[in-house]
Amino acid sequence: MKSFFKSLYLSDRIYIAAAIIIVFFVIGYYVSLFYAAGKVLLLILASLVIIDILLLYNSSVFKIKAKRRLPAKLSNGDDNKIDIYIKNNYKFSVYTEIIDEIPFQFQKRDFLIKKKLGTGEEVTLNYILRPVKRGEYSFGNLNIYVSDFIGIIKRRFIFDNNAKVPVYPSFIQMQKYEIKAVSNNLSDYGIKKIRKISNNREFEQIKSYVAGDDFRTVNWKATARRSQLMVNQYQDEKAQRIYSIIDMGRTMKMPFEGMSLLDYAVNAALVISNIALKKDDKAGVITFSKSIHSIVPADKKNNQISKISEVLYKQQTNYDEANFELLYTTVKRKITQRSLLLVYTNFEGFVSLERQLKYFKQLSKNHLVVVIFFKNSELNKLTEHKAKTTLDIYNKAIAEKFKYEKQLIVKELKKNGVFSVLTEPQNLTVETINKYLEMKATGLF
187 and 225 in a common domain? no
Per-residue CA distances from 20 to 16, 24, 50, 228, 427 (Å): 6, 6, 19, 101, 60
Per-residue CA distances from 372 to 235, 238, 275, 365, 382 (Å): 30, 24, 17, 18, 23
Q: What is the per-residue pLDDT across 311-359, written as a single tens digit (0 to 9) for each? A: 999 998 989 999 999 999 999 999 999 999 999 999 988 888 999 999 9
What φ, ψ does residue 91 adopt, rounded to 5°? -90, 20
Per-residue CA distances from 409 to 253, 289, 403 (Å): 20, 21, 10
Q: What is the per-residue pLDDT across 284-302, written as a single tens digit (0 to 9) for each? A: 999 999 999 999 999 999 9
Q: Are 75 and 129 in contact (CB under 8 A)?
A: no
Specify which residues 433 forms β-bridges with: none
Residue 76 lies in a domain: yes
Residue-level pLDDT at 191 = 58
223 and 81 in a common domain? no
**297 SS3 class:** strand
245 and 153 in a common domain? no
- Residues 444 and 441: their CA atoms lie apart, in Å, by 8
Tally of domains in the chain? 4
378 and 409 in a common domain? yes
Residue 299 lies in a domain: yes
Residue 59 lies in a domain: no
Q: Are 158 and 65 in contact (CB under 8 A)?
A: no
User: HSE of 94 in the Cβ direction (CA atoms, 13 Å)?
Assistant: 27
pTM above 0.75, yes or no: yes
DSSP 127: E
336 and 301 in a common domain? yes
Q: Which CATH number does the domain housing residue 94 bear? A: 2.60.40.10
Residue-level pLDDT at 224 = 84
Residue 57 lies in a domain: no
178 and 81 in a common domain? no
Residue-level pLDDT at 198 = 47
349: nearest Cα among 320, 376, 369: 376
Per-residue CA distances from 260 to 77, 284, 416 (Å): 10, 22, 29
- Residues 264 and 204: their CA atoms lie apart, in Å, by 39
What φ, ψ does residue 27 adopt, rounded to 5°? -65, -35
Strands 340-344, 241-247: pairing is: parallel
27 and 76 in a common domain? no
363 and 428 in a common domain? yes
345 and 248 in a common domain? yes
Residue 181 lies in a domain: yes
Q: pLDDT in tens for each of the 445 residues of the chain?
A: 556 666 777 888 888 888 988 988 888 888 888 888 988 999 999 999 899 888 898 876 678 999 999 999 999 999 999 999 999 999 999 999 999 999 999 988 889 999 999 999 999 999 999 999 999 999 999 999 999 999 899 999 999 888 999 999 999 999 888 766 555 555 555 556 555 544 555 556 788 887 767 777 888 888 888 888 888 876 555 678 999 999 999 999 988 888 999 999 999 999 999 999 988 899 999 999 999 999 999 999 999 999 999 999 999 898 999 999 999 999 999 999 999 999 999 998 888 899 999 999 999 999 999 999 998 877 666 667 677 787 776 677 777 777 788 899 999 999 999 999 999 999 999 999 989 988 887 777 6
Residue-level pLDDT at 1 = 59
* Residue 438 burial by Cβ neighbours in a 10 Å radius (0-12, 13-18, 19+): middle
147 and 130 in a common domain? yes
User: HSE of 15 in the Cβ direction (CA atoms, 13 Å)?
Assistant: 4
Residue-level pLDDT at 69 = 94
Q: Are 304 and 277 in contact (CB under 8 A)?
A: yes
Residue 118 lies in a domain: yes
**60 SS3 class:** coil
**287 SS3 class:** strand
Mean of pLDDT over the chain: 87
21 and 142 in a common domain? no
300: nearest Cα among 370, 369, 240, 245: 240
Q: Helix, strand, coil proportions of the chain in percent (round to 5)? A: 40, 30, 30
Specify which residues 191 forms β-bridges with: none
Residue 412 lies in a domain: yes
291 and 329 in a common domain? yes
Residue 56 lies in a domain: no
- Structural domain including 163 reads 64-168
CA end-to-end distance (rounded Å), the chain? 74
**Following CA atoms 83, 89, 91, 92 in sequence, which dihedral angle do they give, to the nearest 10 degrees?**
-20
User: HSE of 74 in the Cβ direction (CA atoms, 13 Å)?
Assistant: 27
83: nearest Cα among 105, 104, 65, 66: 66
Angle value at C-alpha 264, between 258 and 269, nearest 5 degrees: 160
**Following CA atoms 383, 386, 387, 391 in sequence, which dihedral angle do they give, to the nearest 10 degrees?**
-60
Neighbours of 343 (CB within 10 A): 26
